[in-house]
Structure 1
Amino acid sequence: MGTTLQQHQEIAAFLRNAISRKEFAPGEPLPSESELCERFHSSRGPVRQAMATLRSEGLISSGRGRRTIVLDTVPTQSFDGVISYSEWCRQSGFEPGQVTQSVTRRPADEALAAALDIEPKSPVVSVFRLRLLNGVPAMVERLNYPLDVGRHLLTFDTDSGSIYQHLISSGVDIDNATRTIDAVGADADDARLLEVAEGTPLLRVRRRAFSSNGNTIESSDDRYLPGTASFTLNTIRGNPSPLSMVSAR
């Protein structure tokens, strides 16, 4: 069942998408509060809440007695939006979906054991899902967890929604994550689920998530169709960058 957006989320999604499409370019003003109230048949409260959301994402100026100006076309994201596909979709104004292919408990091979910082053959829980964007195939998701984390998924309906939110609700401590982004050719499973030819270039995002005490709690491999997602990072000279570029060789 889809999630109905609250009015302030609907307004924020409309403006975010319009800014992304450059209907409002950097330096240009947004519609006034009264214009947005009229467009969405809204009171000022939801409009102001939507504008506050866009300010927190770095998309617009603070206003303060003057027309609000567009600052950038790419929003910053919350941690939830970075690590959760479902939350990323909702923040972007899209409807997430999923079709689970398998949920298995199995022994970790050497590569997965190394990624999760556990002993080889230790039990892990692996989830393999096709992710949808407004009902259309967009990404193939391979998630792996040590058993003490993954056990929460063995009785969870992984077609019902966000695994990330379910783990958080189950008390799992997800504190920080790293992402490695590259390109990979679609394998047979990717090709079948994404309805493309084998070898089609896909955007691959490999993620490792950690608890606040440094324990590795997830190793994932997400493969996006071209044109589904892009990654933007703003850096400032003289300040450390969260981006590292390393040789793939």
Structure 2
Amino acid sequence: MTTGPRHRTRQQHDEIAHYLRTAIREGSFQPGDELPSEAELTRKFTSSRGPVRQAMSALRGEGLISSGRGRRTVVLDNVLTQSFDDVISFSQWCHASDIVPGQVTQRVAREPAEKSLAASLRIEEGDPIVSVFRLRLMDEAPAMVERLNYPFEFGRHVLAFDTDSGSIYQELIDQGVDINRASRTIDAVGANDDDARLLEVPVGTPLLRVRRRAFTTAGDVIESSDDRYLPWKASFTMNSTRGNPSSMSLISGD
């Protein structure tokens, strides 16, 4: 006797978080609006307070809602956030945010590394790299343009992968690549001709640029990337505590 594929049942706190996250994203709750109380949510979902509090904690961690201590919880933002502290792929981030990720590959190529990219990847100028240029989608809508570059040692796995099928990060992990940590530099940049065409915005539209480098545990550079988001599609958040040093730095552009 054979059975169909088994699907993970969504736990109750995930169901509550999904309901609230979707309502915020779709505008049912706007920034400044109060959310239903714990009592109202427990009645709506026939739940105890534990799953409701877990769901609220998840949304606070995403920067979507206030702490609510001593007063009703309010919506802070309706733009999805990604934590600075996570080494996470775009696809995984979308799935965690109840969004269907997508991608349309524009180009995959093996080519020699130019000087600045070779320095970023810690290889010699002219060494082979694998470059990927993709449009990323959120619920089938354009959201981000990514330019990914890998030393050939790691990029060879990408050449054998259908880059329209999903997460390159997950494919690298599945191939045994040790993705341990990442650094990000975030700034703003105007959309160039390619960005504007793919994201369906005028040339010069401000984009949120995230330049990322990923490393193995031993410190070898796996990837040097340039991701350009529509700013109303994503933002980044970082939580810090006074007295505890943060890895985030503010760097002058001068």
TM-score by length of 2: 0.78
**In the alignment, does 2:172 pair up with 1:167?**
yes
Shift of 1:226: 2.5
Query: Aligned pair in 2 of structure 1 residues 157, 49: CA closer, same or farther (>3 Å)?
Result: farther
Aligned partner of residue 176 in structure 2, secondary structure: coil
Alpha-carbon distance in structure 2 between the residues aligned to 1:179 and 1:11: 31
Aligned positions, number = 234
CA 1:230–1:17: 2 relative to 1, 3 Å? same
What RMSD, in angstroms, separates the aligned Cα atoms of the two structures? Answer: 3.3
The equivalent of 1:7 in structure 2 is: 10
Does the Cα contact within 8 Å between 2:38 and 2:52 map onto a contact in 1?
Answer: no
Q: Partner of 2:110: helix, strand, or coil? A: strand
- The SS at the match of 1:7 is coil
Equivalent of residue 215 in structure 1, options 203, 214, 220? 220
Superimposed CA distance per residue, residues 56-112 of structure 1 (whole angstroms, 9 cap, x where no aligned partner): 67549xxxxxxxx859958774966x5311111111121111000011111100011
Is residue 177 from structure 1 mapped to residue 182 from structure 2 by the alignment? yes
Contact 1:24 1:30 in 2 (8 A): no
CA separation of 1:126/1:227 partners in 2, compared to 1, >3 Å: closer, same or farther?
Answer: same
Is 2:200 the partner of 1:200? no
How big is the shift at 1:37?
3.3
CA–CA distance in structure 2, aligned partners of residues 208 and 100 of structure 1: 21
Could you tell me which of 144, 148, 151 is aligned with 1:146?
151
Question: How far off is 1:228 after superposition?
Answer: 1.0
Pick one of 30, 39, 57 that aligns with 2:38: 30
CA deviation digits over 1:180-220, x for unaligned, max 9? 11011111111111111211111100000100011111100
- 1:156: Cα distance to partner? 0.7
Corresponding position of 1:242: 247
Structure 2: gaps (5+ residues): 1-6, 66-71
Distance in structure 2 (CA, Å) of the matches to 1:10 and 1:125: 40
Cα shift at 1:22: 5.2
Q: Which residue of 2 aligns with 1:88?
A: 93
Could you tell me how far 1:10 is from its partner in structure 2? 4.2
Is this contact kept in 1: 2:130–2:155, CA < 8 A?
yes
Q: Which residue of 1 aligns with 2:69?
A: none
What 5-or-longer segments of structure 1 have no aligned partner?
39-43, 61-68
Give percent identity, aligned residues only.
53
Aligned partners of 2:130 and 2:16: how far apart in 1? 39
Taking the aligned partners of 2:117 and 2:84, their CA distance within structure 1 comes to 28
Letter of the structure 2 residue corresponding to residue 84 of structure 1: S
Name which of structure 1's ranges 28-37 and 103-112 shifts more when overlaid on structure 2: 28-37
Deviation larger for 192-201 or 210-219: 192-201
Q: Secondary structure at the match of 1:199?
A: coil
Shift of 1:136: 0.6
Indicate the structure whose relative CO is greater, using CA pairs within 8 Å and at least 6 residues apart.
2
Shift, 1:132, TM fit: 0.6
